[in-house]
Copies of this chain bind each other. A is one copy, B any other.
Amino acid sequence: MQLEGIYPIVPTPFLDHGEVDFTSIERLIDFMAQKKVHGLAILGALGEGHKLTDQERSNVIRTYRDPLPKGMDLVVGARSPATDPAMTMVSRARDLGADAILLGPHNLQKDLPLLEYYQQVSEAADIACIIHDYPAVTGITLSVELISRIYDSCANIDYIKLEDPPTGVKMQALAKTAGPGLGVFGALGGMYALEELELGAVGIMTGFVYAELLVQLFDLTLKQQWPQAAELFYDFLPLNRWEFQPGIGVSIRKQVLKQLGVFSTAKVRHPGPDADPKTLAQLFRIVEHLRRKGYLLEI
Q: Which residues of A contact B (CB under 8 A)?
A: 18, 48, 50-56, 80-85, 88-89, 106, 108-111, 113-114, 116-117, 120, 141, 143, 165-166, 168-169, 172, 191, 195, 198-199, 230-231, 233-235, 237-238, 241-242, 245-248, 269-273, 275-276, 278-279, 282, 285-286, 289
* A interface, over-half SS: helix
Closest 3 pairs (CB-CB, A-B) = A51-B82, A113-B271, A83-B270
**CB distance A172 to B276 under 8 Å?**
yes
Query: By the criterion CB–CB under 8 Å, are B271 and A106 in contact?
Result: yes
Ordered by A's residue number, 9 sampled pairs between the chains whose C-beta atoms are within 8 Å are: A51-B82, A51-B85, A108-B271, A113-B272, A166-B246, A169-B247, A169-B279, A195-B242, A234-B237
Q: Is the CB of A166 within 8 A of B247?
A: yes
B285 touches A230 (CB 8 A): yes
Known contacts A83-B269, A88-B53; A234/B238 CB under 8 A: yes
Q: Is A52 a contact partner of B165 (Cβ separation < 8 A)?
A: no
Q: How far is the CB of A124 from chain B (nearest CB, A)?
A: 11
Residues of chain B contacted by A195 (CB below 8 angstroms): 242, 282
Contact A270 to B116, CB < 8 A, known contacts A51-B82, A85-B51, A276-B169: yes
